[in-house]
Amino acid sequence: MQVIESTQAPQLRVASFEAAFNQVETSRWLLLGLIAAGTLSSVITPHAPLAVLAAIGGVVLMPRRAMEVTLLIWLIDQAAGLALRGYPIEQLSMSWAAVMGAGALAVSLLFSHGPGFCRRSWGGHTLWSLLSLMGGFLLYQGTIALVYPVNVDCHSIGAEVISGLLQQ
């Protein structure tokens, strides 16, 4: 008996993955889950993982939706800081808020434009997700570290602070 190899099998797998990914990408539950995670983390901790949430949004959502969700999570985080933690409304805190928002939006935008391999298989998607999480953290913290000398206050941005945020 002769086995005939199909050249369509890899193409079918790619098409199947793309169809599944499109369903996830357009799911309202994913949007609500990201927003709920952002809200909960903003209430629980004063340093919500904006970089992680922005990277996840960028990886699994279309660019516009990723930016909208990131902006909404950032706004919720700012509201929680003002309402629950009593952050002052002054120039310094507003400038830090703007830097954090810009950093989160940059992460979301950058990682929402993934390379071709992230849409072909779960392995490629997983690799892009891991790269996005680490790259998003570095981009976000790098933005803050670059602005820190200009926007100096009582916070210090040393290696111990950044490694603590990474562990969180």
Tell me the per-residue pLDDT of 47-98, one tens digit each, with 9 for 90 and over: 778 889 999 999 988 889 999 999 999 999 999 988 888 888 888 888 888 8
Residue 41 has φ and ψ, to the nearest 5°, of -70, -30
How big, in percent rounded to 5, are the helix, strand and coil portions of the chain? 75, 0, 25
Q: What backbone torsions phi and psi does residue 150 show, to the nearest 5 degrees?
A: -85, -30
> pLDDT for 136-161, tens place per residue?
988 888 887 777 666 555 555 555 65
- Tokens encoding 168: 């969180």
Q: What is the pTM of this model?
A: 0.75
Angle between helix 122-147 and 91-111 (nearest 10) = 150
DSSP state of 117: G
Burial of 61 (0-12, 13-18, 19+ CB in 10 A): buried
